[in-house]
A and B are shown apart, each in its own frame.
Chain A
Amino acid sequence: AQSVAQPEDQVNVAEGNPLTVKCTYSVSGNPYLFWYVQYPNRGLQFLLKYITGDNLVKGSYGFEAEFNKSQTSFHLKKPSALVSDSALYFCAVRVNNAGNMLTFGGGTRLMVKP
């Protein structure tokens, strides 16, 4: 069975500082990894994904994530946080040849303070 862990319920960061939202996964196969963001009263929006190739993936709104196979991690990062980045972030995994179902982490609330 596949699983995703987001160890932090909330991450607080000051505007302009770098941010990291952590994600680790457990799968028995090659993972496809995704990050989604959810703003208040909205559905989830796709940010970025890792399929294969370069371990550093760039996505929307200046976010990037680094795939680390040895540590089974896919942490979300941004060099300089904005107050408008405050939202709920979800990491998700899908295993190749296992259908289209995603397994989501529990979510991490990012709070960026001015």
Chain B
Amino acid sequence: DAGVIQSPRHEVTEMGQEVTLRCKPISGHNSLFWYRQTMMRGLELLIYFNNNVPIDDSGMPEDRFSAKMPNASFSTLKIQPSEPRDSAVYFCASIRDTRSYNEQFFGPGTRLTVL
């Protein structure tokens, strides 16, 4: 199994540009999470999908952030327009939801730098 796949691994963009981060969860996993990690705020949950449906998006910081999961094998996190304070490492994680105590599997992350 290739694990959770995220792309790109690094993204450098200018303020005001649109940024799209991508995630492919582990096959057979039906819950997906987007996290953001910064030195100041640590690890924050942005949004959580179950069976492709957003369950909790209370962590999404602003309307500039949006996430979609069109099918069980793909999700995107979009920031439009991007701002320097969005610079962070964004992680995607997935879990097989057959038992509530399964562990989440994390992708390698996307390091976003907004200039």
A: residues with CB less than 8 A from B are 32, 34, 36, 41-46, 49, 51, 90, 94, 96-97, 99-102, 104, 106-107
B100 touches A96 (CB 8 A): yes
A54 CB → nearest B CB, Å: 15
Known: A90-B43, A99-B55, A100-B31. A46 touches B103 (CB 8 A): yes
B91 touches A43 (CB 8 A): yes
A59–B97 CA distance with the chains assembled, in angstroms: 21
Residues of A within 8 A of B93 (CB): 43-44
Residues of A within 8 A of B55 (CB): 99
In the complex, which range does the number of interface residues on chain B fall in? 20 to 34
A17–B25 CA distance with the chains assembled, in angstroms: 38
A106 touches B42 (CB 8 A): yes
Main secondary structure of the interface of A (DSSP, over half): loop
Main secondary structure of the interface of B (DSSP, over half): strand
Q: Identify 10 new A-B residue pairs, CB closer than 8 A, beyond the known A43-B91, A99-B55, A101-B45.
A: A34-B103, A41-B109, A43-B4, A90-B43, A96-B100, A100-B100, A100-B102, A101-B33, A104-B42, A104-B45
* A/B interface sample: 6 pairs, CB < 8 A: A32-B101, A43-B107, A44-B106, A99-B56, A101-B56, A107-B43
Residues of A within 8 A of B4 (CB): 43
Any A CB within 8 A of the CB of B21: no
